[in-house]
Structure 1
């Protein structure tokens, strides 16, 4: 018999008859609170978990993924987050895409450092479950056997490369759910890292799932959606909220509620000390002044996703200088910060905030036809502010967003000569694009001249370039490398 689910979009008192409780959160890139201290914070989360455990000893803490990269704190590659989780007592974790921001080896290192188990039903490496993770797990909550599966998508957006394979989600779910049912699971929960549309499809095609606990849709908003007899719950990002699930008997309704993580919660002292220690280290590490800028640096997300910018050109120039390539390509969505950095001292902190993902600068060799396909991909979704928009060095081109996708780019020139479809060009780019991220699949399989292991980190390349070009930040022109989009773009 399928379970009904009661939804409550506010914190509620626990039911005295509950067998136990699940606490679910995901997207934990930071130890410290965000939004001026108004949301999130690992020490506040720890306090909330301690309070629930004191009320309900039969409580499992579940983490949905994404604890490395993506923000300035990614400088530590996720290791302080794992340290905090070890202290808090996480019971089960699923992989998010950001666990692979620094490559598969670092993701494996995070697993080895964890005192809690990881689960993955669809990620493999060399034909085996990634990092030895279980493909499914049954945990008892009171007298109820709860089965869990873990599903991760969008691995093409990571730096895992070709060593980690992403299995088809629905196929993996059906296989593991059948096994859990055979093993006596009375309630089945999928922990997923995928958007709502994909979760809705999963719920329709695998109706045996009682609950889907998924990745955030918003930094500030918690959402719950019902599909058939399955509820899809998505907490606010960066520990903005926790989903609480009270479990009664197998045939009785689940009760879901939302626990905000904000300043109303005191900070757990041990985790607060951990956060202070790492934030102090981060400030010391990143406060080194790299250069002085006489111009503002615009890292606005929408600007770098629709047109070439001074900052985007600067990054691409740095990539080209670091590798000796003919051309360099940087996707606009990889430029973060989403603000204007004012003229003045440029610190390593500034540069790391702009490039937080830790990509390695690679060099590949492709022909002109492939290069044109890459540019076409880059401008294919400019009207959607897609992160794939190309920031470039070493070439010029024009594009017309009014033309059909695939026919928008023209007048491509390299070293002031027309692009030759047959000629081979050396292209510098981040390891994310080289792996096919943001639709740049044409680079997968290209001849690699500088591998991730031999390349430098993107922030390092930019830092070294600025130190070697002390006057590079004295002008804001992008040198007219492409025609600006028409008004309104």
Structure 2
């Protein structure tokens, strides 16, 4: 192989210009997280991946990686991505761009990784104001002479990174629009003699498409960030995204035809037909031994399957999201809990049965500090609105919730998808001026993912005082053992299984159930069988506006229920149409009228008692 590269200072290092080969091969992959094989989750691991790559060694491919390796994964939670340095070096990468998850453990850690890897990392459009260099000590661009082809490479991220990266101060980063930066760098690369320009991108697909529409001088776009295998064609150009998690990669054959270049793409799926690479297995054995002892510890037992698929947690209420948020709320004694769906990882349905440490770390691989803040009803509605603002993108900002119920219309304009008059907190319609106790992540409290309503809220319990989210879940299982008398020490000191502040809403209702909607008054409502079947508006309203005696047995019963890991989808979040919203408002009005009429005899009885 004849190759040379441009050095960090911009000077060109290489041999005399060689004849341009008529055909070259590129091997591309992106977004890899779990290095070990996990057959039950159909994850083949890095060892088989390297063997599959070796099948194409005779074609001497240029290996390009489009970001996201250091996190999240169970192993990286303990190693801060150290195992990935070893793996990426063994894979023979020639150039990579940063992904957003490269920053999960902070700049110092990333810069150490940059130094330890044997290939350059690029990030062209973000500059650290403290150093006046590309963020994370990346390179702005890279030039490599590959078999006579002088190839220029740039690496591009998107503005949404800065909204989401908890370890980065966005005020100290100069962000340049990826289109503008690409159009600035392409002429520079052409002036340096590049005859082929590749953009390594870590963008969502709509942003890739915008880049393709607005930068005609880039020859090929090799992307990441999205986890599906995608070939996008616009204006005779190609953006390729090569899957995720060592499950697949792409072989691109570039053929020089007169003055043009044709691109053929072959998708390679990695499976058990590829034997594990011994060198990778040996390199990872140390990390696996360290983890194995801890990962198999059984925390508890799941009585039902837990839905942690990205397509679920980023689009709808899930039983796993309910469980985690319930734990957050109970552990901190708050009125409600909000958790951005991007925190929940694993992208799988967790089977019924033993729930182990490794299951918890798969679901919550990142260190997630919690915080309790004081928030107004208006802020709650704004937060829910932001959570569904990018609903059609399966965004990580979609919220899993506890203590709050709401409906939304995903087809309504952004900013008006959540009807504020139908939002309920602690089984009561929210008062926009009232203040509530909210548990969320420090990540959201800082205003990440456009949750701009949080940073100015009063902090009631800061991140130093609040437990980590994974710790809350582990403590929940310990509390179950204590409640069931299985702990070594008999004690009443344990994390709450049932929210203390919620006990005033554990209501004892009588057996009388009024005819809510007489057919003569509202016949079309009597047969409504859509989202309202799950929306407990009337029953909840009757309970929350009436005064009932708190029953201790009800608290104990709920705690017994909480001892079983069997969360359900309750109707906390409902996707509805405008017509359903209209009918819910009618329900609310009629229910309020009923409760007022019900209160009149009670008020008369109380007045008589007072007179006596």
Q: TM-score, with normalisation over the residues of structure 1?
A: 0.80
Show the 5 A alignment for 1:213-362: 213-215=222-224, 219=228, 221=229, 223-239=230-246, 240-246=248-254, 251-258=259-266, 260-262=268-270, 263-294=272-303, 296-299=305-308, 301=310, 304-305=313-314, 308-320=317-329, 323=332, 325-362=334-371
RMSD: 3.8
1:137 counterpart residue number: 142
Q: Deviations over 1:92-146 (max 9, x none)?
A: 1101122234444543443243232211011233353111111111111122221
Residue 149 of structure 1 pairs with residue 154 of structure 2: yes
Alpha-carbon distance in 2 for matches of 1:410, 1:245: 58
Show the 5 A alignment for 1:172-251: 172-215=181-224, 219=228, 221=229, 223-239=230-246, 240-246=248-254, 251=259
Q: Residue 68 of structure 2 contacts residue 225 of structure 2 at CA under 8 Å; is this kept in 1?
A: no
Q: Secondary structure at the match of 2:169?
A: helix
Q: Deviations over 1:225-265 (max 9, x none)?
A: 33335322222222312333446599452543325142443
Q: Aligned residue pairs: how many?
A: 468
Alpha-carbon distance in 2 for matches of 1:336, 1:387: 10
Alpha-carbon distance in 2 for matches of 1:425, 1:18: 67
Structure 1, gaps ≥5 residues long: 1-15
Q: Residue 381 of structure 2 contacts residue 418 of structure 2 at CA under 8 Å; is this kept in 1?
A: no
Q: Offset at 1:468?
A: 2.9
Distance 1:380 1:475, change over 3 A: same
Alpha-carbon distance in 2 for matches of 1:53, 1:95: 25
1:97 counterpart residue number: 100
Q: Deviations over 1:178-205 (max 9, x none)?
A: 2222322221110001233322321221
Q: Residue 388 of structure 2 contacts residue 410 of structure 2 at CA under 8 Å; is this kept in 1?
A: no
Q: Secondary structure at the match of 2:28?
A: strand
Q: Residue 99 of structure 2 contacts residue 225 of structure 2 at CA under 8 Å; is this kept in 1?
A: no
Alpha-carbon distance in 1 for matches of 2:464, 2:253: 44
Structure 2, gaps ≥5 residues long: 1-19, 484-561, 581-612
Match of 2:29 among 25, 30, 33: 25
1:82 counterpart residue number: 85
Alpha-carbon distance in 1 for matches of 2:41, 2:352: 27
Q: Which has the higher helix share?
A: 2
Q: TM-score, with normalisation over the residues of structure 2?
A: 0.66
Alpha-carbon distance in 2 for matches of 1:41, 1:381: 32
Q: Which has the higher contact order (CA 8 A, sep 6+)?
A: 1
Q: Offset at 1:382?
A: 6.3
Distance 1:381 1:123, change over 3 A: closer
Q: Offset at 1:47?
A: 3.3
Distance 1:21 1:443, change over 3 A: same
2:477 counterpart residue number: 466
Distance 1:252 1:391, change over 3 A: closer
Q: Residue 66 of structure 2 contacts residue 200 of structure 2 at CA under 8 Å; is this kept in 1?
A: yes
Distance 1:100 1:53, change over 3 A: same
Q: Offset at 1:170?
A: 0.5
Q: Residue 368 of structure 1 contacts residue 419 of structure 1 at CA under 8 Å; is this kept in 2?
A: yes
Alpha-carbon distance in 2 for matches of 1:65, 1:425: 40
Q: Secondary structure at the match of 1:373?
A: helix
Distance 1:381 1:97, change over 3 A: closer
1:370 counterpart residue number: 379
Match of 1:121 among 120, 124, 130: 124
Q: Deviations over 1:423-480 (max 9, x none)?
A: 5544322244335455534335655566667765422222123323445332646796
Q: Offset at 1:213?
A: 0.8
Q: Secondary structure at the match of 1:345?
A: strand
Alpha-carbon distance in 1 for matches of 2:318, 2:96: 39
Show the 5 A alignment for 1:155-166: 155=161, 156-163=163-170, 166=175
User: Which one has a bigger Cα radius of gyration?
Assistant: 2
Alpha-carbon distance in 2 for matches of 1:354, 1:428: 19
Distance 1:96 1:418, change over 3 A: same
Distance 1:321 1:215, change over 3 A: same
Distance 1:214 1:367, change over 3 A: same
